[in-house]
Amino acid sequence: MKPIEKDFPIEHVNEIAEREAHAKEKYRPVLFIHKWWARRLGSVFRTIVLYTLVDENTKVLDERTGKWRKITEEELENPWLLYLKDVDFGDKVVLDPMMGGGTTVVEALRTGCKVVAQDLNPVAWFLV
């Protein structure tokens, strides 16, 4: 059973998402180059990706040694511990058939996933 099927850290995500929502008024990442009406927050998608794709083959960058290591049993049980770490899902593929502003694409790429994305709007597809 995947962690997302057992639990989701909604309190933690809400706390980060609220700060992220206010920060986007001042800081505009490159994916904000085009207007998208239903833009989603990266913090929410990063958590969804972590809780959906984490398994015993997931690798984490050890900050002390600078080398990749397998996740611990504790991290596997509580993926929230991985939220601020560099994670590599390696061989996982994320499909987003309606990518819109590209939040799913960016967050999946940050975790080392391969991404397949498209959109009906050619402007969104071209810019992302």
Predicted confidence (pLDDT) per residue in 40-82, tens digit: 888 899 999 999 999 999 999 998 999 999 999 999 999 999 9
Query: Mean pLDDT throughout 8-14?
Result: 90
Query: Are 115 and 96 a contacting pair, CB within 8 Å?
Result: yes
CA distances from 105 to 20, 54, 78 (A): 18, 17, 24
Tell me the pLDDT band of 95, cut-offs 50, 70 and 90: very high
- 112 Rama class: left (phi>0) / alpha (psi -120 to 50) / beta: left
Query: Mean pLDDT throughout 106-113?
Result: 90
List, for residues 15-40, the tens digit of each pLDDT value. 988 888 777 666 666 656 666 677 78
Per-residue model confidence (pLDDT) at position 87 = 93
Domain ranges of the chain: 3-127
Query: Are 82 and 49 a contacting pair, CB within 8 Å?
Result: no
- pTM of the complete model: 0.80
Per-residue model confidence (pLDDT) at position 62 = 92
Per-residue model confidence (pLDDT) at position 17 = 87
Distance CA 101, CA 103 (A): 6
In sign, the C-alpha dihedral spanning 103, 6, 112, 95 is negative
